[in-house]
Structure 1
């Protein structure tokens, strides 16, 4: 597993989202009341850029005329077909047994922790030939 810094914490306050490219994959990073979630920006149902969808809650009802919105801000609705996914798990609310958005581990880390090694710099042989500097790869 490789780690990637995607943005400073100040760029992702509660309620915000950011789509980033990591190793060629578009990933949506969400801050839901201080809880961070990272999802692949591709709906498994139809291929839409799901991270541009509406962030919503879960509609619950005990009967006709009675409804309430619970778990506000914890679900992501696909912009194409309206399928909803739990951002914490990636699990589909429409087809929970078979369909989920790929999720990734995401966490907040202090900058001082990121500068600690061990890091190894890639090195190349450098020579001077007449008046030219040459790097061997």
Structure 2
């Protein structure tokens, strides 16, 4: 297969590689209803790496039935009469609401956080995670 053909195949969101399996776990931790922002960031990162994020953003919409990519779109998207975009919007609507009490608690924890006896590496990791949580709760970037 020519190199150009391989790159064009890998850039096609309809392409399914051997690692694109329904049983594949995309996130390192399970969504439990309280860790939505971190879970969402991991899922988006995983979908970007697999060139599948267009299915949840709507950029990769369903081609008409006569289109030769229609069946491959169905294989890549979610079945059960709901699209990945619809499912993603429902999850974001349900769990992506800004919780001002959580944001206040995070900001308070961040402002009171000190290195104490932690190593510099532990301190940096913890403060970075707190900053990311505050930012994610403040902006709610889709």
TM-score (norm 2): 0.26
Q: Which has the higher helix share?
A: 2
Q: Which has the higher strand share?
A: 1
Larger radius of gyration: 1
Larger relative contact order, structure 1 or 2 (CA cutoff 8 Å, min sep 6): 2
